[in-house]
Structure 1
Amino acid sequence: MIIDSHAHLDLLEDPQAALDRARQAKVIHVVAIGVDLETSVKAAEFAEKEKDVSFCPGIHPHDAAGAPPDFPKQLLELAQNKGAVGWGECGLDYFYNKSPKEIQRRVFSEQIEAAKKAGLPLVIHDREAHEEILALLAEQDAGQVGGVIHCFSGDEIIAQKALDLGFHLGITGTITFPKSEGLRRAVAITPLDRLLVETDCPFLAPVPKRGKPNEPSYLPYTVAALARVLEKDPEKLALATSQNTNRLFGLNLDLEETKCTA
């Protein structure tokens, strides 16, 4: 059993068919992610319709410049819906800089406070902004709610700093890429109970599906690659990461909660 901790279902060509394929691949739950007000509503609708889908509302750094002044209030109201389990995707992206940096910082900071008010863990986007994100999380005591550095892309030092702040690392299909040695080294120093797996679909399809639109049914390839790095049994690793996601997001799924040593 596997949980996809981060999926953009609204971007899939046929979300329902993708969810059906996911179930056949033993993906037992999917967390749908919002990146702005519109997609956050769509994520909430998926969670309302599908019993094995939860959602997180948020404003992606790419969309920070377009966020209305009252966006925290609107998202806080949405976060009261059944199925809301986290806050995000939010954070900083200094690679594309689709929104000015000062606006990204303000919108991210406001979302940290909103997540604390809602009592929801953060789902954090971090692209070329490791140190600034870690500093903001520390300054605003984001460890109160914790969360996950989604699609983790840092090295061992950044990984340890994130772990010290109480955060989890989200591992995507990039773990299967030949040039991802830095990620594999970071994963190797991460405690098993702080790792989540995710697709970030339709992006970052794992080898051997690389180049195709990603979907939750491809998650077993990521789990297998992660298991190789950690020298663990893939089925037990899948259970361990599912337990981690279950606890972090308070999914209350009926999983085997005995300690997994894989």
Structure 2
Amino acid sequence: MLFDTHAHLNADDYNDDLAEVINRAEEEGVSNIVVVGFDRKTIEKTMELIDKYDHIYGCIGWHPVDAIGCTEEDLYWIEDLCTHPKIVAFGEIGLDYHWDKSPRDVQQKLFRRQIQLAKKVKLPIMIHTRDAIEDTINILQEEHAEEVGGIMHCFSGSVETAKQCLKMNFYISLGGPVTFKNARKPKEVAKEVPLDRLLIETDCPYLAPHPFRGKRNEPAYVKLVAEQIANIKEISFEEVAEATTKNAKVIFGIE
């Protein structure tokens, strides 16, 4: 009934109780989860999880924060892994100007390269952007990312920016912040973006929704995101659950 389109169950945070976390998600009606791997360690763990659990799928790529550490060998490895039938997206890739770990020109070069790779392997793109939305959109446009489309993960931009992304064949994904009292932009986006272009996610273990803000997040809490969007749109929870699950299966190519 619910589809968590972005989770990091490959994080060390779940080393002690991963099975229980997955069970709790199923009990809350979470029928599918996409686990995102963004470096060597988390990609390897992602591949293990998608082979172990029928309802878990994978998304792999190289995170912009660590762009400076990405080698040609890493990219060839990722491209090869993308042939796995349960890898359903390429990412999370993009730009992150909040942290200083990788120079902007290095991030931009890797971002372009990975968009080109995603087009080569014919997978939608999972976008991470932080303090870099203008450059992110410019590169997506210049590299014709609309050919494969994708997801603006944990979208925090304005309604106007969301509309630009929709024109490029991207879905808008909302997570825990839409439940925060002071989060004006995600609420405006939830209201304005058509239901057939919305997705929900947790980005767990990060960004837990209210009333768990500040604690470890987990896929079961994606239900709280759906409930908040239903409140904002003044429609039923069931409508949000059905639509966002359908949207996820469309973009990820899941039957």
Whether the TM-score (by the shorter chain) exceeds 0.5 is yes
Shift of 1:44: 1.4
After superposition, the CA RMSD in angstroms is: 1.0
Instruction: Name the counterpart of 2:248.
Output: 245
Instruction: Name the counterpart of 2:29.
Output: 26
Q: Does 1:152 align with 2:155?
A: yes
Matches within 5 A, 1:149-188: 149-188=152-191
Instruction: Give the counterpart letter for 2:168 in structure 1.
Output: L
Q: C-alpha separation between the residues in 1 aligned to 2:124 and 2:220? A: 25
Instruction: Name the counterpart of 1:111.
Output: 114
Do the aligned residues in 2 keep the contact of 1:41 with 1:57 (CA within 8 Å)?
no
Q: TM-score when scaled to structure 2?
A: 0.96
Q: C-alpha separation between the residues in 2 aligned to 1:34 and 1:202? A: 13
Instruction: Give the counterpart letter for 2:225 in structure 1.
Output: T
Q: Does 1:5 align with 2:5?
A: yes
Q: Which segment drifts farther, 29-38 or 144-153? A: 29-38
Aligned pair count reads 252
Q: Deviations over 1:128-169 (max 9, x none)?
A: 111111111111110010000000000111111111111111
Matches within 5 A, 1:110-149: 110-149=113-152
Instruction: Give the counterpart letter for 1:244 in structure 2.
Output: N
Shift of 1:70: 2.7
Q: Deviations over 1:34-57 (max 9, x none)?
A: 111221121111001100000011
Q: C-alpha separation between the residues in 1 aligned to 2:182 and 2:51? A: 39
Q: Deviations over 1:211-252 (max 9, x none)?
A: 110000111111111111111101121110000001000121
Instruction: Name the counterpart of 1:255.
Output: none
Shift of 1:3: 0.4
Instruction: Name the counterpart of 2:18.
Output: 15
Instruction: Name the counterpart of 1:68.
Output: 71
3-state DSSP class of the match of 1:218? helix
Q: 2:232 aligns with which of 229, 232, 246?
A: 229
Q: C-alpha separation between the residues in 2 aligned to 1:243 and 1:97? A: 38
3-state DSSP class of the match of 2:151? strand
Q: C-alpha separation between the residues in 2 aligned to 1:7 and 1:38? A: 15
Identity of aligned residues (%): 38
Q: C-alpha separation between the residues in 2 aligned to 1:186 and 1:29? A: 24
Q: 5+ unaligned residues in a row in structure 2: which ranges?
A: none
Q: C-alpha separation between the residues in 1 aligned to 2:74 and 2:210? A: 38
Shift of 1:15: 2.0
Q: C-alpha separation between the residues in 2 aligned to 1:116 and 1:37? A: 21
Q: TM-score when scaled to structure 1?
A: 0.94
3-state DSSP class of the match of 1:85? strand
Do the aligned residues in 2 keep the contact of 1:72 with 1:110 (CA within 8 Å)?
no
Q: Deviations over 1:80-125 (max 9, x none)?
A: 1131100001110111232111111111111100000010000000
Shift of 1:190: 0.8
Q: Which segment drifts farther, 45-54 or 181-190? A: 181-190
Q: 5+ unaligned residues in a row in structure 1: which ranges?
A: 253-262
Do the aligned residues in 2 keep the contact of 1:37 with 1:75 (CA within 8 Å)?
no
Q: C-alpha separation between the residues in 1 aligned to 2:238 and 2:66? A: 37
